Structure 1
Amino acid sequence: MRLLTVPRDANPVAPKLTVSIATTQEEVREVQRLRYKVFIEAFNLSALVNPDGLDIDAFDAYCDHLIVRDNKTLRVVGTYRVMSPHASRRMGSYYSEKEFDLGRLDHLRGRLAEAGRACIHPDYRSGSVIMLLWAGLAAYMRRERCDYLMGCVSVSLADGGHNAAALYHALDQESLSPAEYRVRPHTPFPVHEREAGHVPVMPPLLKGYLRSGAWVCGDPAWDPDFHSADFFLLLPLARLDSRYARHYRTESSPP
């Protein structure tokens, strides 16, 4: 386990939690078990059920895995999967490229980190875990000399896609990227075919990205495996607001 040095006040109410990067296969297995519980069991995704109880894909072996651990129970209670530019070159692509054409971002690839598979145990969703994960992301990006963070936020389609469409229609110009950063979904989710009058319920992860200054870079993609609409977000670190910049960049140090 490789600990990350994060701001002292990034975790004011739960000092029993620590953030680190997984360094052993068993730690990666702990991450995959948590993801399985949160992504597959909780949403009853029968197509992805497996006897090992692990959420695994080909990208896991190329990525770094941030973990938040409860030091009293030794349980992994939060995780974020991060891919550096070097790792994406070895893999041959970023995970997001399975769903989006990122051609307009080619000039950023050497400075672009990808975060995904954000996952927090249901008993630890008070805010402390995501604070530590964001602090860990900032420390990781400093180490990798990345100026941009990208990733996807999934919105469940269990309601027929009405919330996903409402979220898209509710985005203001500040939340949408400039045209030069727009990406194109390979399989678009038809947000424009859903009524715009539905009151949107914003997932905490999407809210956190937008509050940090991230852009939504176009229409969402349809992910049939997870039965979700996936929004692609790009966060230039220069756009972090003063509150997040103070916690997650200025005071953070690299691992």
Structure 2
Amino acid sequence: MLHAPPGRFTAREAQSPADLSRVRALRAICFRNPSLQECDAFDQAARHVLIEERDSAAAVCCFRLTAFTGDTLQHSYSAQVYDLTALRQVEGPMLELGRFCVHPEWQDPDILRLAWGWLAGQVDAQGAALLFGCTSFDGVESGRYRDAFALLNSRHLARAPWRPGVKAAEVIRFDSIDAADIRAGLHQLPPLLRSYLAMGGWVSDHAVVDRAMNTLHVFTGLEIAAIPPGRKRLLRALAAPKAAAGH
């Protein structure tokens, strides 16, 4: 179990049906559907992680992680809406981070740091070459995120040989967006996406409109070898055994 300094939050893998029920209940709240125990066909193959407030045991964050190779990548959640043919050339395991969400009443930055610490431990343990997933923007009105999409298009696109292709029926192509306010775009980026980009992550050249989930989402990739050494040291410190021992 990992603890965020000074130990207010803990991260652990969901182990029981009760844990999974809490994961799905939290996802339903975060994805604006509190009446639904949110789940899909990709839950079964995934490892699910709960981050809880230590004293109250309140579930404040959750996500799932699933391992793939180039030969199995087509079975990932992301591959259902993006053409990931180019990524089959990646040498080494790939980890898909999915359904990442933080309870709207718990916006402490230590939660995200703890999540990245847990992920760093898994990346090292599995020798992953790529961490990837779909980063969500709330709602399906693309005009709200014009500045963010222009920023992504100008600075953070995947290099051409690895860039995901269009597969979904309804997409927003970033190259169709005129120049916009880059500073405003930074503020529109979801925290998870900002973390990816700060470590050298990149995105697809289009967003997918997901009306069922009421989101716009962008394929996001992070090549582990490209993470700056200083950032790797910080993440590994969070994932170190001494952190897991608690206080």
* TM tier relative to shorter chain: 0.7 to 0.9
Match of 1:136 in 2: 118
Q: Pick the aligned partner of 1:17 from 2, 9, 21.
A: 9
Match of 1:122 in 2: 104
Match of 1:26 in 2: 18
Contact conserved, 2:130 with 2:223, CA < 8 A, in 1? yes
Give structure 2 stretches of 5+ with no counterpart: none
1:234 paired to 2:217: no
1:215 paired to 2:202: yes
1:151-190 correspondence to structure 2 within 5 Å: 151-157=133-139, 160-171=141-152, 174-187=155-168, 188-190=171-173
3-state SS in 2 of match to 1:117: strand
3-state SS in 2 of match to 1:61: coil
Cα deviation, 1:39-81, whole Å, max 9, x if unaligned, reads 123xxxxxxx75xx31100111110011111121112211111
Q: Return the offset for 1:253.
A: 4.5
Measure, in 1, the Cα distance between the counterparts of 2:161 and 2:237.
28
Q: Pick the aligned partner of 1:58 from 15, 28, 41.
A: 41
Give structure 1 stretches of 5+ with no counterpart: 42-48
Measure, in 2, the Cα distance between the counterparts of 1:186 and 1:97.
9
1:248 paired to 2:230: no
3-state SS in 2 of match to 1:176: coil
Q: Return the offset for 1:110.
A: 4.2
TM-score by structure 2 length?
0.84
Measure, in 2, the Cα distance between the counterparts of 1:240 and 1:162.
32
Match of 1:103 in 2: 85
Q: Return the offset for 1:194.
A: 4.7
Q: Return the offset for 1:214.
A: 0.5
Q: In structure 2, do the counterparts of structure 1 residues 191 and 236 end up closer, same or farther at CA, with 3 Å as the change threshold? A: closer
Q: In structure 2, do the counterparts of structure 1 residues 251 and 126 end up closer, same or farther at CA, with 3 Å as the change threshold? A: closer
Measure, in 2, the Cα distance between the counterparts of 1:103 and 1:59.
20
Contact conserved, 1:80 with 1:115, CA < 8 A, in 2? yes
3-state SS in 2 of match to 1:122: coil
Cα deviation, 1:96-145, whole Å, max 9, x if unaligned, reads 01110100001227411000111111232120111111111111122222
Q: In structure 2, do the counterparts of structure 1 residues 174 and 189 end up closer, same or farther at CA, with 3 Å as the change threshold? A: closer
Contact conserved, 1:175 with 1:215, CA < 8 A, in 2? yes
Match of 1:36 in 2: 28
Specify the code of the residue in structure 2 equivalent to 1:165. R
Q: Return the offset for 1:206.
A: 1.4
Q: In structure 2, do the counterparts of structure 1 residues 243 and 162 end up closer, same or farther at CA, with 3 Å as the change threshold? A: farther
RMSD: 2.6
Cα deviation, 1:179-226, whole Å, max 9, x if unaligned, reads 111001312224444554364222212111111210113222221212
Measure, in 2, the Cα distance between the counterparts of 1:176 and 1:194.
14
Contact conserved, 1:111 with 1:147, CA < 8 A, in 2? yes
Measure, in 2, the Cα distance between the counterparts of 1:127 and 1:156.
19
Measure, in 2, the Cα distance between the counterparts of 1:66 and 1:171.
29
Contact conserved, 2:42 with 2:77, CA < 8 A, in 1? yes
Task: Work out the percentage of aligned pairs sharing the same amino acid.
Answer: 24
